[in-house]
């Protein structure tokens, strides 16, 4: 239980600090940053809403609400999937790419600052442990697709 609680505390502290930095400097939430980054890294800079929810670890309804807000800001747009009249993809706009570029500096500096106190060996151990958990040590939640 100690490892679990330590992981939760560290995760909560780092994400709260990153969120605070992004809001203060960029007026952008960490979840919005994650969505813009996921779309930028996706093939053709677009993802189906269900895929986007899986990538950014939000519920489908949560990602839909977030994309609604980002669409109103002109940072993303929705497009119908040609092969499937029911499907919708989120696509990052030029404005969204610009906003992500500006916010990336804040994000990078925050990550570096919040991991500064860890020794190199500790970071390598942390990476291995987290990757092992993410790559199969923890099953997908009920109702969600597995990543592999």
CATH number of residue 99's parent domain: 1.10.10.10
| CA–CA separation, 114 and 89 (whole Å) | 34
- The percent of residues in the chain predicted with pLDDT above 70, rounded, is 91
- Domain span including residue 125: 2-135
Cα gap 71→63, rounded to integer Å:
12
Cβ contact 70:36 at 8 Å: yes
Helix count and strand count (H, E) for the chain: 6, 3
Residue 146: inside a domain, yes or no? no
Spell out the per-residue pLDDT of the chain, length 148, in tens: 998 899 899 999 999 999 999 999 999 999 999 999 999 999 999 999 999 999 999 999 999 999 999 999 999 999 998 776 678 999 999 999 999 999 999 999 999 999 888 887 899 998 998 888 877 755 655 555 444 3
Tell me how far apart the alpha carbons of residues 57 and 55 are, in angstroms, rounded to a whole number: 6
pLDDT tens for each residue of 105-126: 999 999 999 988 888 789 999 8
122: Cβ contacts below 8 Å, ≥ 6 apart: none
Residue 75: count other Cβ atoms within 10 Å of its Cβ.
24
21: in domain: yes
Q: Which of 36, 49, 41 is nearest to 78 (CA)?
A: 49
| Tally of domains in the chain | 1
88: left (phi over 0), alpha (psi -120 to 50) or beta: beta
Burial (Cβ within 10 Å: 0-12, 13-18, ≥19) of residue 32: buried
- Assess if residue 12 is contained within a domain: yes
In a domain, 141, yes or no: no
């Amino acid at each position: 239980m100690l490892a679990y609680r330590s992981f939760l505390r560290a995760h909560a502290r780092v994400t709260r600090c990153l969120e605070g930095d992004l809001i203060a400097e960029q007026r952008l939430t960490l979840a919005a940053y994650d969505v813009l980054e996921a779309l930028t890294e996706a093939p053709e800079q677009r993802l189906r809403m269900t895929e986007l929810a899986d990538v950014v670890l939000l519920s489908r309804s949560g990602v839909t609400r977030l994309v609604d807000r980002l669409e109103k800001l002109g940072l993303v747009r929705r497009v119908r999937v040609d092969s499937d009249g029911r499907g919708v993809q989120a696509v990052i706009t030029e404005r969204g790419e610009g906003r992500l570029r500006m916010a990336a500096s804040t994000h990078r500096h925050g990550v570096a600052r919040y991991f500064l106190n860890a020794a190199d060996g500790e970071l390598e151990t942390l990476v291995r442990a987290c990757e092992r958990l993410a790559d199969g040590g923890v099953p997908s939640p009920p109702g969600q697709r597995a990543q592999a």
